[in-house]
């Protein structure tokens, strides 16, 4: 989530400008070849064992956990370095400014990819087999691509899916095996799903609980509805906003209806900062539904130490508006530092974790969901990880987080205008128009300074 150590937009432009010039020579290091998706065996390492350095946030731990098997397959040792998520943007700006070659492989997510993709990550076109990319959901590959060049290899799919508490839906008179298919259906169900459980005349259990404490959380809240309305945030070159549209208004109206008209959203969400905290509340049966990464099903819903609803969740698609479904998430992956002097070895790590073998092992032994569709469809993986099937289906629908070079600043704009709308100061139409005007100004400033 959003942290206090985030570098400001002006600071980033200044720092990035310092490191943008000059040329560099990357050393090519002969290494063994990691298996790709077609199942070929890794060649034995004939050279001296190589070593790569990886910079990541702590999650996903599975990326670090793959390093012993990666070393066994390729002879390449991986040195893992991690920093808090909130420090990544400032750290990457420093790497760019100093043309720092000390890290070979860099973690990324949609926002970092959009911000640093063209300047810090090495292009990967023609370096990753097309068969691998064809096996990854198209929207995920699109979010890993900047300026027509693949910059990041996706690691796992974190698309949000729908979780529906069977007991609460049944208690309210609804079929627990048939979750709502549209947000309008959710709105109409909300009066029956919301409940005063203590008898004091105040609703204390709501239909949905979402983390709204940070501007990041508020923005993703809107993104879920915008994807469900079949809208988009920006032009392909990130130079213009595109959400000031009928679809964007449908999404903003749905935000208003969820917060105000139908009181779908638990007001407690304004004091919750993380998806994990919100999902723990769902697992304690404190709300009727949840929208979160599929891996939370095993971590929380089916964890007897953390859940009151073991075996009582119906997995389903996130409802839609103009589409059957639309979601969001955080497409995470890893790329090669353009200043690395060990790019070939770093590339082998990307090839290894995206191979069918490594992805299948992850799907069978962890709660992390593989990014490769063929692995998600594997019957054994689906048996071991019951969220794999619905995640595979959800990945067919829009689920962008709408990362951009001004992601956090735009998130702050939406936070302000959505709160103004919630408080009755402006209408959904005005909230959309003001968000569009302010976001466009941020884009204009970024590109004029870049």
Sign of CA dihedral 382, 384, 386, 387: negative
Concatenated DSSP letters of 276-320: HHHHHHHHTT-EEEEEEETTHIIIIIT-TTT-S-TT-EEEEPPBB
pLDDT over 70, % of the chain: 89
| Region class of 263: left (phi > 0), else alpha (psi between -120 and 50), else beta | left
Q: Express each pLDDT in 434-446 by its tens digit.
A: 999 999 999 999 9
Query: Cα-flanking dihedrals φ and ψ of residue 333, to 5°?
Result: -170, -165
**Full set of structural domains in the chain with CATH:** 9-159+330-394 (3.40.190.10), 161-328+406-449 (3.40.190.10)
Torsion of CA 142, 148, 149, 151, to 10 degrees: -40
- The CA distance from 267 to 221, in Å, is 14
Query: Cα-flanking dihedrals φ and ψ of residue 262, to 5°?
Result: -110, -5
Listed residue (405, 350, 404, 335) closest to 121, CA to CA: 335
Query: Cα-flanking dihedrals φ and ψ of residue 150, to 5°?
Result: -65, 125
Instruction: Output helix, strand, coil percentages for the chain, rounded to the nearest 5.
Output: 45, 15, 40
Q: Give pLDDT tens digits along the chain (450 positions).
A: 333 345 555 554 544 444 333 322 222 333 344 445 444 444 444 443 489 999 999 978 899 999 999 999 999 999 999 999 889 999 999 999 999 999 999 999 988 998 899 999 999 999 999 999 999 998 899 889 988 899 999 999 889 999 999 999 999 999 999 999 999 999 999 999 999 999 999 999 999 999 999 999 999 999 999 999 999 999 988 899 999 999 999 999 999 999 999 999 999 999 999 999 999 999 999 999 999 999 999 999 999 999 999 999 999 999 999 999 999 998 899 999 999 999 999 999 999 999 999 999 999 998 889 999 999 999 999 999 999 999 999 999 999 999 888 999 999 999 999 999 999 999 999 999 999 999 999 999 999 987
Q: Express each pLDDT in 147-196 by its tens digit.
A: 889 999 999 988 999 999 999 999 999 999 999 999 999 999 999 999 99
- The CA distance from 374 to 447, in Å, is 39
Concatenated DSSP letters of 150-172: E--EEEE---EEEEEEHHHHHHT
Query: Cα-flanking dihedrals φ and ψ of residue 280, to 5°?
Result: -60, -40
- The CA distance from 98 to 355, in Å, is 33
């Amino acid at each position: 989530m959003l942290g206090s150590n985030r570098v400001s937009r002006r600071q980033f432009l200044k720092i990035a400008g310092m490191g943008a010039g000059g040329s560099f020579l990357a050393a090519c290091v002969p290494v063994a070849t990691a298996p790709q998706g077609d199942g070929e065996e890794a060649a034995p390492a004939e050279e001296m064992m190589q070593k790569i350095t990886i910079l990541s946030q702590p999650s996903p731990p599975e990326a670090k956990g793959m390093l012993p098997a990666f070393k066994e397959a390729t002879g390449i040792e991986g040195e893992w370095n991690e920093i808090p998520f909130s420090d990544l943007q400032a750290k990457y700006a420093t790497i760019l400014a100093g043309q720092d070659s000390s890290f070979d492989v860099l973690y990324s997510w949609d926002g970092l990819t959009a911000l640093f993709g063209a300047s810090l990550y090495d292009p990967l076109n023609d370096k990753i087999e097309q068969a691998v990319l064809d096996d990854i959901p198209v929207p995920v590959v699109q979010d890993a691509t900047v300026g027509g060049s693949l910059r990041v290899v996706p690691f796992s799919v974190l698309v949000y899916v729908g979780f529906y508490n069977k007991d609460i839906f049944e208690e309210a008179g609804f079929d627990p095996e048939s979750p709502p298919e549209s947000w309008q259906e959710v709105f109409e169900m909300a009066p029956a799903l919301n409940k005063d459980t203590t008898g004091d005349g105040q609703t204390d259990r709501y239909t949905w609980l979402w983390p709204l404490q940070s501007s990041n959380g508020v923005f993703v809240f809107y993104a879920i509805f915008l994807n469900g309305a079949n809208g988009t945030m920006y032009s392909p070159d990130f130079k213009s906003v595109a959400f000031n549209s009928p679809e964007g208004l449908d999404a903003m109206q749905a935000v208003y209806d969820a917060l105000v008209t139908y009181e779908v959203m638990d007001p407690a969400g304004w004091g919750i900062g993380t998806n994990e905290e919100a999902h723990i509340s769902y697992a304690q049966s404190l709300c009727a539904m949840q929208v979160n990464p599929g891996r939370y099903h095993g971590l929380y819903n089916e964890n007897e130490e953390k859940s009151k609803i073991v075996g009582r969740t119906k997995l389903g698609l996130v409802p839609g508006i103009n589409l059957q479904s639309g979601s969001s998430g955080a497409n995470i992956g890893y790329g090669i530092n353009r200043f690395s002097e060990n790019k070939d070895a770093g590339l082998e790590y990307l090839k290894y974790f995206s191979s069918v073998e490594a992805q299948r092992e992850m799907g069978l032994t962890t709660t992390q969901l593989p990014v490769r569709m063929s692995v998600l469809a594997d019957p054994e993986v689906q048996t071991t990880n019951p969220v794999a099937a619905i995640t595979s289906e959800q990945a067919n629908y829009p689920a962008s987080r709408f990362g951009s070079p001004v992601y956090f600043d735009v998130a702050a704009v939406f936070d302000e205008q959505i709160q103004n709308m919630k408080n009755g100061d402006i209408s959904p139409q005005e909230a959309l128009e003001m968000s569009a005007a302010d976001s466009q100004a941020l884009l204009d400033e970024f590109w004029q300074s870049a």
